[in-house]
Structure 1
Amino acid sequence: MTGTDSIYATEQQIKDFSFDENVVEVFPDMIQRSVPGYATIVSTMGKLAGQYAQSNSNLYDLGCSLGAVTLSMRRNIEKQNCEIIAVDNSKAMVERCQLHLKGFKSDVPVNVVLGDITELELKNASVVALNFTLQFIPQEQREDVLKRIFNSLKPGGVLLLSEKIKGENELTDNLLIDLHHDFKRHNGYSELEISQKRTAIENVMRPNTLSTHLERLNTIGFSQTQVWYQCFNFCSLVAIK
């Protein structure tokens, strides 16, 4: 069972956001009430993984949290001899992810790893998922992470990337932020919760503009990049090697 997200419901001294035990306990509620279309994003990433998975290859879920994308990918893989490698740097998330996976039987093996994806060796990949993960990596390390992903991908392999994005200028960025905050109000978050969560996360999550993402992926060498979902300042795309 998971609880209702009330982490920021009372006035408090705000610390930088982290994926600790408190967040793990309420994460499903937090993500559903905070990210528009999250269920659609997760299910579609699984379908894309099934479409692009290649036999005798690895599929990575980098920043796997509780394993939603891992489970979605595993449900859709039909190719032979595939393994999913799910990685997160939060011990609490990894332990809960392992418990979740035990509840679902599948012929596709999953290896859940506690580790830092900025140092992880990637190899023989046909699909790599970064579901709202890159935004938590320091700006100066993002291109290196994406290059290592690109180099690990087999020809025809894909990166499935979901990110919170900035608007292209101050006016459009504020518009997207206002729409997102209204979404959170509609889902029961108070003004205090919205304000305190924003303060907690502003030093640990630094989003890029969509144009920055597209230019970077093109520079790295991906042959095709397509946005397949966007709602407010949340975006998902597929990049094909």
Structure 2
Amino acid sequence: MSHLTDTIYASQQQVADFNFDQQVADVFPDMIQRSVPGYQTILHTLGLLTERYSQANSNIYDLGCSLGAATLMMRRHNKQPGCTIISVDNSAAMLERAEQHINNYRGDTPVQLCCQDLQETEIINASMVVLNFTLQFIAPEQRLSALTNIANGMNDGGLLLLSEKIQHPDGVMNDVLIDLHHEFKRTNGYSELEISQKRTALENVMITESVDHHLQRLKEAGFSHAAVWYQSYNFCSMLAIK
């Protein structure tokens, strides 16, 4: 399936809050590859983690699945019988594209697509849950409740992969990480106008937090173990075990 180039913010405009609408769905593969450092490393490692942590006759959740990249990776690497992958997103446009992608690749593990907020998703008999750059779009005061709901529905030994854009508590270092990320985007062809307007669009929608804040909240939510396994600039991925 061919993908369009992300030019959403290439011209001067009145910038609205970022939204996962049809326009974003059309260019999302290009957008995330050019905007999120380490994205392919996270997906590759998710496959390895699926081989290790998926449990027979359990559910695997991809919460905020977007176009289904994590879903497909887990489906490809799941070796356990009786599993179902439940992929959730509140954007109908993203799920429509996800369904097309999933149907293009055969797999033994069935996939259920659900159009709903992840906070309304009932987590049951889960051996794995993925929140790949998803929690950051939930209001901070609602994040502990969302994670607690996930932890309560997970089996013992179950794994959560949580990837987030982060904020360093040291203001100077935070600025360094932001500058490095902007240079990453420049290297991938984004203009100064695109970088500036995208940042404005996300300002009120994506609220970032420190790594320590994330790890502490994972413990409060009911996970026994939590740690960072990967970071590239101000993008971070954590693992938590029930």
| TM bracket (short chain) | over 0.9
Listed as ranges, the gaps of 5+ residues in structure 2 are none
Give RMSD over aligned pairs.
Answer: 0.8
Aligned to 1:24: 25
Equivalent in the alignment of 1:189? 190
1:49, CA displacement in angstroms?
1.9
- Give % identity: 58
Counterpart CA distance in 2 for 1:81 and 1:121 is 19
1:146 matched to which residue of 2?
147
Kindly state the Cα deviation for residue 220 of structure 1 after the two structures are TM-superposed.
Answer: 2.2
User: Hey, what does 1:223 align to over in structure 2?
Assistant: 224
Aligned to 1:107: 108
SS of equivalent to 2:136? helix
Matches within 5 A, 1:14-163: 14-163=15-164
TM-score normalised by length of structure 2 = 0.98
Matches of 1:72 and 1:4, distance apart in 2: 23
Unaligned runs of 5+ in 1: none
TM-score scaled by length of structure 1: 0.98
Task: Report how far residue 55 of structure 1 moved.
Answer: 0.5
Question: How many residues in Structure 1 have an aligned counterpart in Structure 2?
Answer: 241
What are the superposed Cα offsets for residues 74-132 of structure 1, whole Å, 9 maximum, x if unpaired?
01100110000000000000111011110001110000110111111110000000000
In structure 2, what residue type is equivalent to 1:224? Answer: H
Amino acid at match of 1:213: H
| Deviations 1:159-208, CA, capped at 9 Å, x for gaps | 11100000112112111111100110111100000000000011100011
Q: Which region of structure 1 is more displaced relative to structure 2, 45-54 or 133-142?
A: 45-54
Q: Distance in 2 between matches of 1:58 and 1:4?
A: 35
| Superposed CA offset, 1:5-63 (max 9, x none) | 11000000100000111111110000000001111111211221221000010000000
How far 1:219 sits from its partner (Å)?
2.0
4+ runs of 1 displaced by more than 2 Å?
A: none
